[in-house]
Structure 1
Amino acid sequence: MGAHAVIDHRTEDVPARATELTGGRGVDTVVDTVGPHSATADLRLLVHCGRLAAVAGRPDLRTVRPFGMAPSVHEIALGAAYTLGDERTRARLAAMLTDLLAMTAQGRLDAMLTRTVALDDVPEALIELSGRHVRGKIVYVRD
């Protein structure tokens, strides 16, 4: 995706590592997959006009001084394309999915599949996923 460096929030001190990697400048882009609290904290890491993509919850923009750092915040809500989007939006999402599947099939993208489960094991897998301690994906495979 063009990242020069990636910081793992589970094993590294994110603010310290970001400061080290950028020589104190700050980062241009953050993709936060943890949650709203983390996304809010990530705002402090951005340079002026930096970008934050929130996958698991929106940051609290009240923590940013109005007309100060001018962050660009993007909410990644793919499901909304089906509930709120029009036909063009759904077609764009389908094209992106097709590209992602092709990249996965070519070995250019790791789907990070942790394990597959049967239908009877789906409730337990959902509980496990809700704890946000699973690295990768648990996928239901129809018998």
Structure 2
Amino acid sequence: MLAASYTRTGLAAEVLSVAEMVAPVAAPGEVLVRVHASGINPADVKRRGGWRGMGMDHPLIIPHTDGAGEIVGVGSGVDRGRIGERVWMWNAQGGYGEAGRAFGTAAEFIAIASHQAVKLADSLSFADGANLGVPAMTAYRAVFADGPVTGQMIFVNGAAGAVGHFAVQMAVAGGARVIGTVSTVEAAVHVKEAGAFATIDRKTEDVSARILELTNGEGVDRVVEVDFGANLELDAAVLKRNGTVASYSSSSNPTPVLPYYAFAAKGANLRFIQGFLIPEDQRLAGERMIAELADAGRFKVAIGATFPLHDIAKAHERVERGGLGNVVVLIGGA
């Protein structure tokens, strides 16, 4: 099979290569998936780049946690009726701080635990499915970790991003009203189409003042936060009493200093979201919601760019540059 890999961390163009490798075989409890699309998340790029001193947990790594394809074989203990099923995959490599698996989805085939290959809704393409594992499930956890959100006001910071875009859709589907920050006119249209009732340009507007204006001075019940360290003061200012900040990243400042009393005065709840560690009940609920929304035509995956496998380094560079929409490596049939 063809597979992309790296044997040391570093710049994408310097460490990523594509070559023939021996295809895996499904072990007991596993399925063998012919991969058609491999999604790239910021976490994949950070691992490959050695972010914050990340090293090589294996001599050779096939990157990417998320992907989608077709089951072409099963190991013992797995229903053979799954052969031919279109699936999306999650956590193919494991989370931060653990060695995890060496072989991710950037290959023509992957053997993975059966429960990590989830049936893909008929209305979603393989490219769509390659973006569900980390961004969509992280969004579900960020929105619903503390229960239903019916009638709540939710502020999604970074609403045009991969996680943010899904969070807007899920929160609206759950009965919440959503305010989202954006940085371009194009992003504002993107977020409004996802269901947000208001967008705020973080570059040209006073975000805190605008949120308080939109909520008649009451603030929001929940913040879905893309960059905790950069937005501590903002989140504390716009949060209602006993509100919750659910943050899934703090890339710009990994060691923020917490303004304790700004949050304590609100009785705030701080929740940190790790997309690789979603409890099983929430994971299954998230999988159901994705399927139900997709079947109802209410679930949109924003694909910003696609690349063939041999251009995987360019795909990683696109993620690093940023831009609207998810980045996908197409391996065939997507």
Is TM-score (shorter-chain normalized) higher than 0.5? yes
- C-alpha separation between the residues in 2 aligned to 1:6 and 1:77? 23
Tell me which of 95, 99, 106 is aligned to 2:296.
106
Percent of aligned pairs with the same residue? Answer: 21
1:72 partnered with 2:265: no
Partner of 1:37: 229
Structure with the largest fraction of strand: 2
- C-alpha separation between the residues in 1 aligned to 2:180 and 2:309? 35
1:63 partnered with 2:63: no
- C-alpha separation between the residues in 1 aligned to 2:329 and 2:292? 21
CA contact (8 A) 1:39 1:54 kept: no
RMSD over equivalenced CA pairs, Å: 2.7
Partner of 1:139: 328
What is the deviation of 1:60? 4.4
CA contact (8 A) 1:7 1:17 kept: no
CA contact (8 A) 1:32 1:38 kept: no
CA contact (8 A) 2:315 2:329 kept: no
State the SS of the aligned residue for 1:6.
Answer: strand
- C-alpha separation between the residues in 1 aligned to 2:331 and 2:291? 19
Partner of 1:97: 287
- C-alpha separation between the residues in 1 aligned to 2:219 and 2:281? 36
Structure with the largest fraction of helix: 1
Partner of 1:7: 180
**Residue 8 of structure 1 aligns to which amino acid in structure 2?**
T
CA contact (8 A) 1:104 1:111 kept: no
Partner of 1:122: 312
State the SS of the aligned residue for 1:97.
Answer: helix
What is the deviation of 1:21? 0.6
CA contact (8 A) 1:32 1:54 kept: yes
Q: Deviations over 1:39-86 (max 9, x none)?
A: 4232221011111111223894721317422211222212124xxxxx
Partner of 2:241: 48
Q: Report which of the two structures shows the higher radius of gyration computed on alpha carbons.
A: 2
> Which ranges of 4 or more aligned residues in structure 1 deviate by more than 3 Å?
58-61, 89-92
- Cα 1:94–1:116 change in 2 (3 A) is farther
**Residue 62 of structure 1 aligns to which amino acid in structure 2?**
L
- Cα 1:59–1:71 change in 2 (3 A) is farther
CA contact (8 A) 1:48 1:70 kept: yes
TM-score (norm 2): 0.35
What is the deviation of 1:98? 4.5
What is the deviation of 1:124? 2.3
- C-alpha separation between the residues in 2 aligned to 1:32 and 1:125? 25
CA contact (8 A) 2:306 2:315 kept: no
- Cα 1:135–1:101 change in 2 (3 A) is farther
Structure scoring higher RCO (CA < 8 A, sep ≥ 6) equals 2
Partner of 1:84: none
Number of equivalenced pairs: 134
What is the deviation of 1:94? 4.3
CA contact (8 A) 1:36 1:59 kept: no
- C-alpha separation between the residues in 1 aligned to 2:264 and 2:181? 30
- Cα 1:71–1:121 change in 2 (3 A) is farther
5+ residue gaps, structure 2: 1-170, 184-200
5+ residue gaps, structure 1: 82-88
